[in-house]
Amino acid sequence: QVSFPYYYREKTRLYGMDQPFLKGTWKRQGVFIGETVKNRFEPAHAFFMAADCARKAELDDAQLDAFLHGQELAYPMEKGYVQVTWHGQPMGFAKSTGKVLKNKLPKGLRLLAGSHVRLPEAGSLTDGTVTERKENQEA
């Protein structure tokens, strides 16, 4: 559901932006959409983080932990690329085989073995801000 009015192709890589690209040498402009690998288009993680995709896989807390560790998830849905979300927030993307989500989270963003997702305690979030715990309030 994302359309960029401006595109820039650099060899096998495709970038998109909502304004014209600047001429000259720049480190990065726009959103990296993906690249052509072995005669097929492979979407990029950055694209799925910036996009509001129609095909989403909403994960629960346990599934999020497994996803962030790079594991495959049993999740029946139609085949193809899907945006992986948690509470409506994009966390990355996966490729569905129809029964399993093949994890496409970049290896550098995955959690290390033995670590786990630590979620805020119930009631610690108020209006989008994290309140300090009692042990941190000593002054």
User: What does the pLDDT look like over 81-96, one tens digit per residue?
Assistant: 999 999 999 999 999 9
- Structural domains in the chain, sorted by start: 1-52 (no CATH), 54-106 (2.30.130.60)
Residue 115 — φ and ψ, nearest 5°? -95, 160
pLDDT score for 133: 45
Q: Is the pLDDT of residue 120 over 90?
A: no
| pLDDT of 136 | 44
pTM: 0.73
Which tokens sit at 133? 């715990």
For the segment 17-70, what is each residue's pLDDT rounded down to a tens digit?
888 888 877 777 888 999 999 999 999 999 899 888 889 999 999 999 999 999
Closest CA to 51 of 23, 6, 82, 72: 82
CA atoms within 13 A on the CB side of 32: 14
